[in-house]
DNA sequence: CCATTCATGTAATCGGTTACATGATTCT
DNA sequence: AGAATCATGTAACCGATTACATGAATGG
Protein backbone atom coordinates (compact mmCIF):
# COMPACT_ATOMS: atom_id res chain seq x y z
CA UNK A 1 0.00 0.00 0.00
CA UNK A 2 2.82 2.38 -0.72
CA UNK A 3 1.62 4.95 -3.26
CA UNK A 4 -1.57 5.13 -5.30
CA UNK A 5 -2.02 3.19 -8.58
CA UNK A 6 0.12 5.76 -10.43
CA UNK A 7 -2.53 7.82 -12.17
CA UNK A 8 -0.52 9.52 -14.92
CA UNK A 9 -1.90 13.04 -14.38
CA UNK A 10 -5.33 13.43 -15.95
CA UNK A 11 -5.69 16.32 -18.39
CA UNK A 12 -8.33 19.04 -18.04
CA UNK A 13 -10.28 17.37 -20.82
CA UNK A 14 -10.30 14.23 -18.69
CA UNK A 15 -11.89 16.12 -15.81
CA UNK A 16 -14.42 17.66 -18.18
CA UNK A 17 -15.44 14.13 -19.16
CA UNK A 18 -15.53 12.97 -15.53
CA UNK A 19 -17.73 15.98 -14.72
CA UNK A 20 -20.17 14.97 -17.44
CA UNK A 21 -20.16 11.32 -16.37
CA UNK A 22 -20.88 12.37 -12.78
CA UNK A 23 -24.31 13.39 -14.09
CA UNK A 24 -25.02 9.98 -15.62
CA UNK A 25 -23.45 7.30 -17.78
CA UNK A 26 -22.91 8.10 -21.43
CA UNK A 27 -21.13 6.91 -24.57
CA UNK A 28 -18.15 8.67 -26.14
CA UNK A 29 -20.49 9.96 -28.81
CA UNK A 30 -22.86 11.43 -26.21
CA UNK A 31 -19.94 13.02 -24.39
CA UNK A 32 -18.72 14.65 -27.59
CA UNK A 33 -22.22 16.11 -28.07
CA UNK A 34 -22.27 17.21 -24.43
CA UNK A 35 -19.02 19.05 -25.00
CA UNK A 36 -20.85 21.36 -27.37
CA UNK A 37 -23.60 22.37 -25.01
CA UNK A 38 -23.67 23.49 -22.19
CA UNK A 39 -20.18 22.50 -21.05
CA UNK A 40 -19.08 23.58 -24.48
CA UNK A 41 -19.52 27.23 -23.54
CA UNK A 42 -16.22 26.95 -21.68
CA UNK A 43 -14.69 23.64 -22.71
CA UNK A 44 -14.93 21.55 -25.87
CA UNK A 45 -13.23 18.83 -27.86
CA UNK A 46 -13.65 16.79 -31.02
CA UNK A 47 -14.42 13.11 -30.99
CA UNK A 48 -10.86 12.40 -32.10
CA UNK A 49 -9.72 13.72 -28.75
CA UNK A 50 -12.53 12.22 -26.66
CA UNK A 51 -12.11 8.55 -27.59
CA UNK A 52 -8.39 8.29 -26.75
CA UNK A 53 -8.97 10.26 -23.54
CA UNK A 54 -11.69 7.83 -22.44
CA UNK A 55 -9.28 4.95 -23.04
CA UNK A 56 -6.70 6.72 -20.86
CA UNK A 57 -9.25 7.36 -18.10
CA UNK A 58 -10.23 3.70 -18.19
CA UNK A 59 -6.59 2.58 -18.02
CA UNK A 60 -6.24 4.82 -14.95
CA UNK A 61 -9.30 3.18 -13.39
CA UNK A 62 -11.38 6.37 -13.30
CA UNK A 63 -14.12 5.12 -15.62
CA UNK A 64 -15.46 1.77 -16.85
CA UNK A 65 -17.45 0.89 -19.92
CA UNK A 66 -20.08 -1.68 -20.88
CA UNK A 67 -20.69 -2.63 -24.47
CA UNK A 68 -24.31 -2.02 -25.40
CA UNK A 69 -25.40 -3.86 -28.54
CA UNK A 70 -28.03 -2.09 -30.61
CA UNK A 71 -30.11 -3.58 -33.41
CA UNK A 72 -30.74 -0.66 -35.75
CA UNK A 73 -27.66 1.38 -34.80
CA UNK A 74 -23.97 0.77 -34.26
CA UNK A 75 -23.10 -0.81 -30.92
CA UNK A 76 -21.80 1.59 -28.34
CA UNK A 77 -19.63 1.72 -25.24
CA UNK A 78 -21.42 3.26 -22.28
CA UNK A 79 -19.03 4.75 -19.73
CA UNK A 80 -19.64 5.35 -16.04
CA UNK A 81 -17.62 6.90 -13.24
CA UNK A 82 -15.83 4.59 -10.78
CA UNK A 83 -15.33 5.42 -7.10
CA UNK A 84 -11.77 6.39 -7.89
CA UNK A 85 -13.02 8.59 -10.72
CA UNK A 86 -15.36 10.44 -8.36
CA UNK A 87 -12.54 10.95 -5.90
CA UNK A 88 -10.22 12.25 -8.64
CA UNK A 89 -12.95 14.68 -9.72
CA UNK A 90 -13.49 16.15 -6.23
CA UNK A 91 -9.74 16.35 -5.66
CA UNK A 92 -9.42 18.35 -8.89
CA UNK A 93 -12.28 20.63 -7.81
CA UNK A 94 -10.47 21.40 -4.57
CA UNK A 95 -7.08 22.00 -6.22
CA UNK A 96 -5.80 25.44 -7.20
CA UNK A 97 -6.91 26.75 -10.58
CA UNK A 98 -4.67 28.82 -12.83
CA UNK A 99 -6.10 32.08 -14.08
CA UNK A 100 -6.11 31.48 -17.82
CA UNK A 101 -4.42 33.86 -20.24
CA UNK A 102 -6.65 34.33 -23.23
CA UNK A 103 -5.88 34.72 -26.88
CA UNK A 104 -8.41 36.69 -28.89
CA UNK A 105 -7.72 37.53 -32.50
CA UNK A 106 -10.39 40.25 -32.70
CA UNK A 107 -8.87 42.22 -29.82
CA UNK A 108 -5.46 41.69 -31.39
CA UNK A 109 -6.80 43.29 -34.56
CA UNK A 110 -8.24 46.14 -32.48
CA UNK A 111 -4.70 46.86 -31.33
CA UNK A 112 -3.68 47.48 -34.97
CA UNK A 113 -6.98 49.01 -36.04
CA UNK A 114 -5.41 52.44 -36.55
CA UNK A 115 -3.84 50.98 -39.73
CA UNK A 116 -7.14 49.81 -41.16
CA UNK A 117 -10.07 51.22 -43.09
CA UNK A 118 -12.47 52.48 -40.36
CA UNK A 119 -15.65 51.68 -42.31
CA UNK A 120 -14.56 48.08 -42.97
CA UNK A 121 -13.52 47.61 -39.34
CA UNK A 122 -16.83 49.06 -38.16
CA UNK A 123 -18.66 46.50 -40.27
CA UNK A 124 -16.57 43.72 -38.78
CA UNK A 125 -17.32 44.94 -35.26
CA UNK A 126 -21.05 45.12 -35.97
CA UNK A 127 -20.93 41.55 -37.30
CA UNK A 128 -19.21 40.30 -34.15
CA UNK A 129 -21.64 42.27 -31.97
CA UNK A 130 -24.44 40.37 -33.69
CA UNK A 131 -22.81 37.00 -33.07
CA UNK A 132 -22.36 37.74 -29.38
CA UNK A 133 -25.88 39.14 -29.13
CA UNK A 134 -27.15 35.86 -30.61
CA UNK A 135 -25.13 33.82 -28.08
CA UNK A 136 -26.48 36.04 -25.31
CA UNK A 137 -30.05 35.51 -26.44
CA UNK A 138 -29.54 31.75 -26.61
CA UNK A 139 -28.07 31.61 -23.10
CA UNK A 140 -30.88 33.73 -21.72
CA UNK A 141 -33.46 31.45 -23.32
CA UNK A 142 -31.74 28.44 -21.82
CA UNK A 143 -31.67 30.01 -18.39
CA UNK A 144 -35.39 30.78 -18.68
CA UNK A 145 -36.08 27.16 -19.68
CA UNK A 146 -34.00 25.94 -16.79
CA UNK A 147 -35.92 28.16 -14.39
CA UNK A 148 -39.18 26.63 -15.56
CA UNK A 149 -37.93 23.05 -15.48
CA UNK A 150 -35.60 22.92 -12.49
CA UNK A 151 -37.18 25.67 -10.39
CA UNK A 152 -35.69 26.00 -6.94
CA UNK A 153 -33.07 23.30 -7.70
CA UNK A 154 -31.26 26.00 -9.70
CA UNK A 155 -30.24 27.54 -6.39
CA UNK A 156 -29.48 24.38 -4.43
CA UNK A 157 -25.73 24.03 -4.06
CA UNK A 158 -25.84 20.23 -4.19
CA UNK A 159 -28.04 20.06 -7.28
CA UNK A 160 -26.45 19.37 -10.65
CA UNK A 161 -28.64 22.18 -12.03
CA UNK A 162 -26.74 24.67 -9.93
CA UNK A 163 -23.64 23.86 -12.00
CA UNK A 164 -25.45 24.53 -15.26
CA UNK A 165 -26.86 27.72 -13.77
CA UNK A 166 -23.39 28.93 -12.73
CA UNK A 167 -21.88 28.28 -16.14
CA UNK A 168 -24.80 29.92 -17.95
CA UNK A 169 -24.52 33.05 -15.82
CA UNK A 170 -20.88 33.32 -16.73
CA UNK A 171 -21.71 32.86 -20.40
CA UNK A 172 -24.40 35.54 -20.23
CA UNK A 173 -22.09 38.06 -18.58
CA UNK A 174 -19.27 37.32 -20.99
CA UNK A 175 -21.37 37.61 -24.13
CA UNK A 176 -23.09 40.78 -22.95
CA UNK A 177 -19.78 42.46 -22.23
CA UNK A 178 -18.28 41.33 -25.55
CA UNK A 179 -21.30 42.58 -27.49
CA UNK A 180 -21.16 45.96 -25.75
CA UNK A 181 -17.47 46.34 -26.50
CA UNK A 182 -18.00 45.52 -30.19
CA UNK A 183 -20.77 48.07 -30.39
CA UNK A 184 -18.70 50.69 -28.63
CA UNK A 185 -15.86 50.01 -31.10
CA UNK A 186 -18.22 50.22 -34.06
CA UNK A 187 -19.59 53.52 -32.76
CA UNK A 188 -16.09 54.96 -32.49
CA UNK A 189 -15.19 53.74 -35.97
CA UNK A 190 -18.35 55.20 -37.46
CA UNK A 191 -17.28 58.62 -36.28
CA UNK A 192 -19.12 59.11 -33.01
CA UNK A 193 -15.99 59.05 -30.93
CA UNK A 194 -13.71 61.17 -33.09
CA UNK A 195 -14.11 64.39 -31.20
CA UNK A 196 -14.05 62.94 -27.72
CA UNK A 197 -17.79 62.28 -27.38
CA UNK B 1 3.90 38.00 -62.43
CA UNK B 2 1.77 34.98 -61.93
CA UNK B 3 1.17 34.54 -58.21
CA UNK B 4 2.70 36.35 -55.24
CA UNK B 5 6.04 35.26 -53.71
CA UNK B 6 4.32 32.32 -52.02
CA UNK B 7 3.92 33.54 -48.44
CA UNK B 8 3.37 30.27 -46.56
CA UNK B 9 0.38 31.50 -44.49
CA UNK B 10 1.50 33.64 -41.58
CA UNK B 11 0.23 32.51 -38.19
CA UNK B 12 -1.69 34.76 -35.81
CA UNK B 13 1.45 35.14 -33.72
CA UNK B 14 3.15 36.44 -36.87
CA UNK B 15 0.51 39.14 -37.23
CA UNK B 16 0.82 40.01 -33.56
CA UNK B 17 4.53 40.63 -34.16
CA UNK B 18 3.86 42.62 -37.32
CA UNK B 19 1.36 44.73 -35.35
CA UNK B 20 4.01 45.49 -32.76
CA UNK B 21 6.65 46.28 -35.39
CA UNK B 22 4.22 48.66 -37.12
CA UNK B 23 4.68 50.87 -34.04
CA UNK B 24 8.46 50.92 -34.33
CA UNK B 25 11.45 48.65 -34.86
CA UNK B 26 12.37 46.26 -32.07
CA UNK B 27 14.46 43.21 -31.25
CA UNK B 28 13.06 39.75 -30.63
CA UNK B 29 13.69 40.30 -26.95
CA UNK B 30 11.72 43.56 -26.96
CA UNK B 31 8.88 41.89 -28.85
CA UNK B 32 8.72 39.11 -26.28
CA UNK B 33 8.43 41.75 -23.54
CA UNK B 34 5.80 43.58 -25.59
CA UNK B 35 3.78 40.38 -25.77
CA UNK B 36 3.29 40.58 -22.04
CA UNK B 37 1.90 44.06 -21.93
CA UNK B 38 -0.38 45.48 -23.34
CA UNK B 39 -0.80 43.15 -26.33
CA UNK B 40 -0.36 40.38 -23.81
CA UNK B 41 -3.85 41.02 -22.43
CA UNK B 42 -5.15 39.15 -25.46
CA UNK B 43 -2.14 37.53 -27.11
CA UNK B 44 1.17 36.28 -25.75
CA UNK B 45 4.09 34.00 -26.52
CA UNK B 46 7.40 32.87 -25.07
CA UNK B 47 10.72 33.78 -26.60
CA UNK B 48 11.09 30.20 -27.84
CA UNK B 49 8.14 30.85 -30.13
CA UNK B 50 9.06 34.42 -31.07
CA UNK B 51 12.57 33.82 -32.47
CA UNK B 52 11.60 31.08 -34.95
CA UNK B 53 8.53 33.08 -35.98
CA UNK B 54 10.69 36.14 -36.74
CA UNK B 55 12.92 33.95 -38.90
CA UNK B 56 9.85 32.74 -40.80
CA UNK B 57 8.57 36.30 -41.26
CA UNK B 58 11.95 37.34 -42.61
CA UNK B 59 12.07 34.38 -44.99
CA UNK B 60 8.64 35.48 -46.24
CA UNK B 61 9.96 39.03 -46.76
CA UNK B 62 7.61 40.64 -44.24
CA UNK B 63 10.35 41.89 -41.90
CA UNK B 64 14.09 42.64 -42.10
CA UNK B 65 16.71 42.83 -39.42
CA UNK B 66 19.89 44.77 -38.77
CA UNK B 67 22.52 43.53 -36.38
CA UNK B 68 23.21 46.10 -33.71
CA UNK B 69 26.47 45.58 -31.87
CA UNK B 70 26.50 46.64 -28.25
CA UNK B 71 29.52 47.10 -26.01
CA UNK B 72 28.25 46.26 -22.56
CA UNK B 73 25.39 43.98 -23.63
CA UNK B 74 24.87 41.11 -26.05
CA UNK B 75 24.47 42.17 -29.68
CA UNK B 76 20.92 42.21 -30.94
CA UNK B 77 18.91 41.93 -34.12
CA UNK B 78 16.59 44.86 -34.61
CA UNK B 79 13.62 44.03 -36.83
CA UNK B 80 11.51 46.38 -38.90
CA UNK B 81 8.46 45.98 -41.09
CA UNK B 82 8.92 45.85 -44.87
CA UNK B 83 6.38 47.24 -47.33
CA UNK B 84 5.18 43.71 -47.95
CA UNK B 85 4.85 43.21 -44.20
CA UNK B 86 2.65 46.28 -43.85
CA UNK B 87 0.49 45.09 -46.72
CA UNK B 88 0.15 41.64 -45.16
CA UNK B 89 -0.86 43.26 -41.88
CA UNK B 90 -3.63 45.40 -43.38
CA UNK B 91 -4.86 42.44 -45.47
CA UNK B 92 -5.14 40.40 -42.28
CA UNK B 93 -6.99 43.25 -40.55
CA UNK B 94 -9.57 43.31 -43.35
CA UNK B 95 -10.01 39.52 -43.43
CA UNK B 96 -12.78 37.69 -41.57
CA UNK B 97 -12.10 36.84 -37.95
CA UNK B 98 -13.30 33.64 -36.31
CA UNK B 99 -15.23 34.00 -33.09
CA UNK B 100 -12.97 32.16 -30.66
CA UNK B 101 -14.24 29.32 -28.50
CA UNK B 102 -12.82 29.72 -25.04
CA UNK B 103 -11.60 27.17 -22.54
CA UNK B 104 -11.81 28.18 -18.91
CA UNK B 105 -10.98 25.71 -16.20
CA UNK B 106 -12.66 27.71 -13.42
CA UNK B 107 -16.01 27.73 -15.22
CA UNK B 108 -15.55 24.05 -15.95
CA UNK B 109 -15.15 23.50 -12.22
CA UNK B 110 -18.26 25.58 -11.59
CA UNK B 111 -20.17 23.09 -13.71
CA UNK B 112 -19.22 20.33 -11.25
CA UNK B 113 -19.33 22.52 -8.16
CA UNK B 114 -22.38 20.68 -6.80
CA UNK B 115 -19.97 17.81 -5.96
CA UNK B 116 -17.60 20.01 -3.95
CA UNK B 117 -17.30 21.42 -0.48
CA UNK B 118 -19.14 24.80 -0.70
CA UNK B 119 -16.89 26.58 1.79
CA UNK B 120 -13.71 25.57 -0.06
CA UNK B 121 -15.22 26.55 -3.42
CA UNK B 122 -16.32 29.89 -2.00
CA UNK B 123 -12.76 30.56 -0.89
CA UNK B 124 -11.49 29.71 -4.38
CA UNK B 125 -14.03 32.06 -5.95
CA UNK B 126 -13.07 34.90 -3.61
CA UNK B 127 -9.42 34.36 -4.52
CA UNK B 128 -10.17 34.55 -8.23
CA UNK B 129 -12.37 37.61 -7.66
CA UNK B 130 -9.35 39.28 -6.08
CA UNK B 131 -7.08 38.41 -9.00
CA UNK B 132 -9.54 39.84 -11.51
CA UNK B 133 -10.12 42.90 -9.35
CA UNK B 134 -6.34 43.46 -9.36
CA UNK B 135 -6.18 43.13 -13.16
CA UNK B 136 -9.09 45.54 -13.42
CA UNK B 137 -7.37 48.09 -11.20
CA UNK B 138 -4.17 47.80 -13.22
CA UNK B 139 -5.99 48.32 -16.52
CA UNK B 140 -7.86 51.31 -15.14
CA UNK B 141 -4.63 52.85 -13.93
CA UNK B 142 -3.09 52.33 -17.35
CA UNK B 143 -6.05 53.91 -19.06
CA UNK B 144 -5.81 56.90 -16.74
CA UNK B 145 -2.08 57.23 -17.52
CA UNK B 146 -2.82 56.99 -21.21
CA UNK B 147 -5.44 59.71 -20.93
CA UNK B 148 -2.91 62.01 -19.33
CA UNK B 149 -0.13 61.20 -21.78
CA UNK B 150 -1.90 60.73 -25.09
CA UNK B 151 -4.91 62.96 -24.48
CA UNK B 152 -7.10 63.45 -27.54
CA UNK B 153 -4.99 60.98 -29.55
CA UNK B 154 -6.76 58.23 -27.59
CA UNK B 155 -9.84 58.94 -29.68
CA UNK B 156 -8.19 59.48 -33.06
CA UNK B 157 -8.83 56.47 -35.25
CA UNK B 158 -5.50 56.74 -37.03
CA UNK B 159 -3.46 57.08 -33.85
CA UNK B 160 -1.63 54.05 -32.49
CA UNK B 161 -2.94 55.03 -29.05
CA UNK B 162 -6.44 54.30 -30.20
CA UNK B 163 -5.43 50.64 -30.57
CA UNK B 164 -4.12 50.51 -27.02
CA UNK B 165 -7.25 52.26 -25.81
CA UNK B 166 -9.50 49.74 -27.58
CA UNK B 167 -7.68 46.75 -26.13
CA UNK B 168 -7.62 48.23 -22.64
CA UNK B 169 -11.36 48.86 -22.73
CA UNK B 170 -11.94 45.26 -23.64
CA UNK B 171 -9.68 44.13 -20.80
CA UNK B 172 -11.48 46.36 -18.33
CA UNK B 173 -14.90 45.05 -19.31
CA UNK B 174 -13.73 41.46 -19.25
CA UNK B 175 -12.08 41.65 -15.85
CA UNK B 176 -14.98 43.52 -14.29
CA UNK B 177 -17.45 40.92 -15.50
CA UNK B 178 -15.25 38.04 -14.36
CA UNK B 179 -14.79 39.59 -10.93
CA UNK B 180 -18.54 40.12 -10.54
CA UNK B 181 -19.29 36.53 -11.51
CA UNK B 182 -16.74 35.17 -9.02
CA UNK B 183 -18.29 37.29 -6.27
CA UNK B 184 -21.78 36.21 -7.19
CA UNK B 185 -20.63 32.58 -7.07
CA UNK B 186 -18.94 33.08 -3.71
CA UNK B 187 -22.09 34.70 -2.33
CA UNK B 188 -24.18 31.73 -3.43
CA UNK B 189 -21.71 29.26 -1.96
CA UNK B 190 -21.60 31.13 1.33
CA UNK B 191 -25.31 30.59 1.70
CA UNK B 192 -26.90 33.77 0.44
CA UNK B 193 -28.48 32.12 -2.55
CA UNK B 194 -29.73 28.93 -0.97
CA UNK B 195 -33.30 29.98 -0.51
CA UNK B 196 -33.73 31.77 -3.81
CA UNK B 197 -32.60 35.22 -2.60
C1' DC C 1 27.87 35.33 -4.01
C1' DC C 2 23.56 34.82 -6.23
C1' DA C 3 19.75 36.50 -8.82
C1' DT C 4 18.19 39.25 -12.46
C1' DT C 5 18.43 41.52 -16.95
C1' DC C 6 19.77 41.41 -21.63
C1' DA C 7 20.06 38.51 -25.67
C1' DT C 8 19.42 34.46 -28.78
C1' DG C 9 18.66 30.19 -30.00
C1' DT C 10 17.22 24.55 -30.11
C1' DA C 11 14.76 20.16 -28.65
C1' DA C 12 11.28 17.35 -26.56
C1' DT C 13 6.78 17.05 -25.54
C1' DC C 14 1.84 17.96 -25.30
C1' DG C 15 -2.78 19.39 -26.38
C1' DG C 16 -5.73 20.15 -30.12
C1' DT C 17 -7.25 20.32 -35.15
C1' DT C 18 -7.81 18.31 -39.56
C1' DA C 19 -8.09 14.62 -42.25
C1' DC C 20 -8.51 9.68 -43.10
C1' DA C 21 -11.38 5.51 -42.46
C1' DT C 22 -15.75 2.61 -42.07
C1' DG C 23 -20.63 1.53 -42.25
C1' DA C 24 -25.72 1.06 -41.25
C1' DT C 25 -30.08 3.67 -40.90
C1' DT C 26 -33.15 7.46 -41.48
C1' DC C 27 -34.67 11.76 -43.36
C1' DT C 28 -35.29 15.06 -47.35
C1' DA D 1 -30.07 9.83 -54.85
C1' DG D 2 -27.72 12.23 -51.41
C1' DA D 3 -27.26 14.17 -46.78
C1' DA D 4 -27.44 13.71 -41.96
C1' DT D 5 -27.25 10.94 -37.71
C1' DC D 6 -25.23 7.39 -34.94
C1' DA D 7 -20.91 5.34 -33.63
C1' DT D 8 -15.85 4.51 -33.12
C1' DG D 9 -11.47 4.81 -34.07
C1' DT D 10 -6.26 6.33 -36.14
C1' DA D 11 -2.66 9.43 -38.23
C1' DA D 12 -0.47 13.63 -39.62
C1' DC D 13 0.27 18.01 -38.43
C1' DC D 14 0.62 22.44 -35.91
C1' DG D 15 0.81 25.71 -32.24
C1' DA D 16 2.43 26.32 -27.72
C1' DT D 17 4.90 25.03 -23.34
C1' DT D 18 8.80 23.41 -20.91
C1' DA D 19 13.30 22.49 -20.65
C1' DC D 20 18.05 22.70 -22.35
C1' DA D 21 21.92 25.73 -23.61
C1' DT D 22 25.18 29.83 -23.38
C1' DG D 23 27.20 34.05 -21.55
C1' DA D 24 28.34 38.92 -20.05
C1' DA D 25 26.93 42.87 -16.96
C1' DT D 26 24.54 44.74 -13.18
C1' DG D 27 22.19 44.90 -8.61
C1' DG D 28 21.15 43.31 -3.96
Q: What is the DSSP string of chain A?
A: --S-S------HHHHHHHHHHTTS-EEHHHHHHHTTTTGGGT----HHHHHHHHHHHHHTTSEEEEEE--SSS--EEEEEE-HHHHHHHHHHHHS--PPPPP--HHHHHHHTGGGS-HHHHHHHHHHHHHHHHHHHHHHHHHHHHHHHHHGGGGG-TTSHHHHHHHHHHHHHHHHHHHHHHHHHHHHHHTTTTTT--
Say whether the CB atom of B54 is under 7 angstroms from strand C: yes
Round the CA-based radius of gyration of chain B to a whole number and report it.
22
> Residue A193: what pLDDT?
54
- pTM for the whole structure: 0.93
Mean pLDDT of chain B: 92
Q: Residues by CB within 7 Å of nucleic chain D, which ones?
A: A 27-30, 32-33, 47-48, 51-52, 54-55, 70, 73-77, 101, 103; B 9, 11-13, 44-46, 48-49, 72-74
Mean pLDDT of chain A: 92
What confidence tens digit (pLDDT) does each residue in B164-186 have?
999 999 999 999 999 999 999 99
What confidence tens digit (pLDDT) does each residue in B138-161 have?
999 999 999 999 889 999 999 999
- Rounded to an integer, the average pLDDT of A35-59 is 92
pLDDT above 50 (res A170): yes
Which residues of chain A are within 8 Å of residue B16 when distances are taken between CB atoms? 108
- Rounded to an integer, the average pLDDT of B36-46 is 87
- Rounded to an integer, the average pLDDT of A68-86 is 94
Instruction: Give the number of other Cβ atoms within 10 Å of residue B102's Cβ.
Output: 16
* pLDDT level of residue B191 (50, 70, 90 thresholds): confident
Say whether the CB atom of A104 is under 7 angstroms from strand C: no
Round the CA-based radius of gyration of chain A to a whole number and report it.
22
* pLDDT level of residue B68 (50, 70, 90 thresholds): very high
pLDDT above 60 (res B7): no
* pLDDT level of residue B194 (50, 70, 90 thresholds): low
Nearest CA to the C1' of C10 belongs to which residue? B48
CA distances from B143 to A25, A117, A177, B52, B171 (A): 50, 25, 18, 33, 11
pLDDT above 90: percentage of residues in chain B: 86
> Residue A38: what pLDDT?
72
Interchain CB distance below 8 Å, B159 and A100: no
The DSSP element (H or E) to which B70 belongs, if any, is none
Say whether the CB atom of A75 is under 7 angstroms from strand C: no
Amino acid sequence: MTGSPRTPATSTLGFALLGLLARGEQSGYDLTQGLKDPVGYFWFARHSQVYPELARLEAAGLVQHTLVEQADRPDKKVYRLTGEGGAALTAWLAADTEVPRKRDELVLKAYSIWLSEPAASARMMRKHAQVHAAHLAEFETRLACLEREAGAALWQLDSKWFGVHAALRRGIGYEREYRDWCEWMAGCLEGEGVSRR
